[in-house]
Structure 1
Amino acid sequence: MTHDAPTSPALAPAGPAVDAPPRVDPIRVASVPAGHPYVRSLLDPLDRTGRVVHLADPLPDPAEPTRWWPPVVLDAAWLRAHVDEVDLLHVHFGTESYPTEHLVAVVEALHDLRLPLVHTVHDLTNPQLVDQAPHLEHLDVLIPAADELITLTDAAADEVETRWGRRPTVIAHPAIADVDAELPVGTPGDTVVVGVHLRDLRPNVAGVETVRTLLAAVDALRAAGAAVEARVDLNERVRDPEQAARIRELVRAAGPSATLAEHPRLSDADLERSLAELDVSVLPYRHGTHSGWVELCWDLAVPVAAPRVGHAAAQHPDAASTASFDLDDPASLAAALIALVSPHAADETADAHDDPARVPASRRGSPQRTTLQRQRRSLRRRQRRDVAAAHLAVYERALATVAAVTA
């Protein structure tokens, strides 16, 4: 039996708010930042029309050609000097590089120069910050000033509308993994492997809390007779060495039910292989809004247990992909793990289109994971066309709005 692939989050209707003649010249978008993988994924590589052009990031320091921060184009003086080269500014990430007054000056310059502003609300809380007050100030500048707003989930759009009285266009997060590549599926095994990747312990990662909860959940499941183990991944270089030391001690005390892997920052291919060896990936976030990690796991058909913060669980809410838990509640994590790894098909003749909860679990190395990856690659290929078209529609509306105001 085959199962229909879960549907992608719907793209919001993108009908023009202001009538405008079709634009012939490419729309030159100064993205903040252009070099981020998410931003690069917004262009359909199969589209040969060239209707949208992403301008390259000017380098803050030519000696570091891979560093885009602090974003050079997010500057009033730069915009005034390069106004003839830009049609539109699209802000994604990196505003934490500047004080609020700097963003106010950018908005004023855009108004003076008659350049549209588009803002994608990726983060209602900033994962790079502990104190969220500066980020909220930035949102209070950008959200009211933007000619068009985008976000990634209906849940986030609801929150933006409640807090600022404006509803963004919802455009689903595109693929993280290569949609044209065969992906690793992992090694089959009887033991359920549940892993958490803590990476470099950035500010929104609750490393100690997540590991403690994971180890307690695994202990409870093992006591009930389940063959399950925890796997903790940590970068060798971290932002919080004291927290890393506490995590080592927790894993060491857990004995054979847990392992710790410390390593250099993983390449994209190594990360995909590492995730593929898991039956469930646990998100370790204490705050956040959306998650590229969720998208990569979805591409790999690795189920995700997500803490009840932000809207990551709304990115792919089908029962085979995501289950939620409370960060300090091992019982809720144990229940989430059971939901994700137990066969959901009480009736093996049922079809996933009728009930997504009946999709068999996507265990590591299983035929189900291989099939699900293939289905999702097909969906992602269609989605990248939709994502590119939706952004083009947003850009055209923003340009038409500014043109109407200044006519």
Structure 2
Amino acid sequence: MIDTPPPARDALRVASVPAGHPYVRHLQPVDDSAVSRAVIRLADPLPDPAEPARWWPPVVLDAGWIAEHAAEVDVLHVHFGTESYDLGHLRRVVDAARAARIPLVHTVHDLVNPQLVDQAPHLAHLGLLVAESDELLTLTEGAAAEIERTFGRRPVVVPHPHLLPLDAVAPTGTAHVEVVVGVSLRDLRPNVDGPGSVSTLIAAAGLLAAAGRPVTVRVDVNERVRDAVALAEVRALVAGAPGHLDVSLVVHPRLDDDELAEALADLDVVVLPYSHGTHSGWVELSWDLGVPVAAPRVGHVDDQHPAAGDTASFDAGDADQLAAAVDSLVRARADVSARPGSASRRALVAGRREQRRAQRDEIAQAHLAAYERAVASATARPAPSTAASSSAARPAELVS
């Protein structure tokens, strides 16, 4: 059995993949009365109880698990994690959900998977999920248009919710004279171009200094990374930065959520280091914290918060464009002076938090509507054949 409270009358029980991600947790309404029907998102079954914070590889994405727990699930909603399995395994998951008459909902977060270099498996997974889902969602209009062009089906657009918890103290940074521009390389995952991003940012800082608009560059990275060669290149770039520029590298243990928010809030501008991707949680957290973003033209990141002063785009590797993007973001804040540690930054963050509260209820309503449409679609399908049903009911034959 799944360890979850008994459902309220008429509640929908949703098995999310994964349930423990901040994005998924923030799909619940702030005000329960905002939705006409309760949605209970079941807890992630743990692959290893000794590691309660790890949800991957997702246990729910298994045909045997679905057959065994079919009576406890009303909707299967896949977000992330399919890269843990091959296409055949995912096909069996979809077939098991169909056999159990569990509707499938998929949110396309990533048209290009940031965790992978070879995108062929991810595209194959997308092709299957886009075709077979009873309801299809994504986060931006630009992504919806690309999905329609690529796969012939247009998703419903539901924006990304807040990342900074609504009940958490919102850091607003420490006041400083210099304009601080930061780039976080974190653990140098496959879609982070550490050396390219740092090289471009140092060159852009040189251009800004020459124009009389100097900035302080802060590069931070986890002490444990996936690409040690890239980290060595980053160290060399920072060490070799021209002496008249203020460039520093901070190597630290992996930051927890509170530490991450505090570090980000100290920035005047954050530069994204992506080489590929589709959407960015970093953009959402930055918006929550009132920090403008200079983003490479990757995927549909600039479609998340496109207002002038919130996001400015540049071609990856183009120092002139990055310098112009940073300068435009700093100048856009000149009138309101929403710099770290300022009263204007505090007011901006407080106002955005209220917007996020209202938005979260709207997002919950949109998801409930999608789940109800998916249930109606699955209910209207003809019952699976006896042979298919009996095959799907034998977990041992379905686990890859």
Give the TM-score normalised by structure 2.
0.90
Query: Which residue in the other structure is 2:393 paired with?
Result: none
- Is the aligned partner of 1:405 residue 2:378? no
CA change 1:323–1:137 in 2 (3 A) is: same
What is the SS of the residue equivalent to 1:316? coil
- Is the aligned partner of 1:394 residue 2:379? no
CA distance in 2 between counterparts of 1:362 and 1:161 reads 39
**Amino acid across the alignment from 1:363:** R
What is the SS of the residue equivalent to 1:406? coil
What is the SS of the residue equivalent to 1:310? coil
Identity percentage of aligned residues: 60
Alignment of 1:338-357 (within 5 A): 338-343=327-332
What is the deviation of 1:181?
3.7
- Is the aligned partner of 1:327 residue 2:312? no
CA distance in 2 between counterparts of 1:195 and 1:344 reads 17
RMSD value, Cα: 1.6
- Is the aligned partner of 1:130 residue 2:117? yes
CA distance in 2 between counterparts of 1:340 and 1:100 reads 43
Does the 8 A contact of 2:333 with 2:339 survive in 1?
no
Instruction: Give structure 1 stretches of 5+ with no counterpart.
Output: 1-22, 346-358
**Amino acid across the alignment from 1:364:** P
Query: Which residue in the other structure is 1:203 paired with?
Result: 190
CA distance in 2 between counterparts of 1:321 and 1:308 reads 15
CA distance in 1 between counterparts of 2:133 and 2:318 reads 40
What is the deviation of 1:24?
5.3
Alignment of 1:356-395 (within 5 A): 360=336, 362-395=338-371
**Amino acid across the alignment from 1:115:** I
What is the SS of the residue equivalent to 1:82? helix
Query: Which residue in the other structure is 1:271 paired with?
Result: 260
Instruction: Give structure 2 stretches of 5+ with no counterpart.
Output: 1-7, 384-400
- Is the aligned partner of 1:33 residue 2:33? no
**Amino acid across the alignment from 2:255:** L
CA distance in 2 between counterparts of 1:151 and 1:106 reads 21
Query: Which residue in the other structure is 2:396 paired with?
Result: none
- Is the aligned partner of 1:257 residue 2:246? yes
- Is the aligned partner of 1:293 residue 2:278? no
Per-residue Cα deviation, 1:2-57 (whole angstroms, up to 9, x for no partner): xxxxxxxxxxxxxxxxxxxxx95211111111111111111124316761111111
Query: Which residue in the other structure is 1:166 paired with?
Result: 153
Per-residue Cα deviation, 1:340-368 (whole angstroms, up to 9, x for no partner): 001467xxxxxxxxxxxxx7453222332
CA change 1:343–1:321 in 2 (3 A) is: closer
CA distance in 1 between counterparts of 2:290 and 2:352 reads 8
**Amino acid across the alignment from 2:381:** V
Does the 8 A contact of 1:194 with 1:229 survive in 2?
yes
Give the TM-score normalised by structure 1.
0.89
Does the 8 A contact of 2:308 with 2:332 survive in 1?
no
What is the deviation of 1:268?
1.1
Alignment of 1:224-239 (within 5 A): 224-239=211-226
Question: Equivalent of 1:139, from 122, 126, 132?
Answer: 126
Alignment of 1:76-115 (within 5 A): 76-115=63-102
Does the 8 A contact of 1:114 with 1:406 survive in 2?
no
What is the SS of the residue equivalent to 1:150? strand
CA distance in 2 between counterparts of 1:47 and 1:93 reads 26
Does the 8 A contact of 1:341 with 1:361 survive in 2?
no
**Amino acid across the alignment from 1:263:** H
Q: How many residues align?
A: 372
CA distance in 2 between counterparts of 1:268 and 1:59 reads 21
CA distance in 2 between counterparts of 1:318 and 1:51 reads 34
CA change 1:392–1:343 in 2 (3 A) is: closer
CA distance in 2 between counterparts of 1:404 and 1:79 reads 20
CA distance in 1 between counterparts of 2:37 and 2:22 reads 19
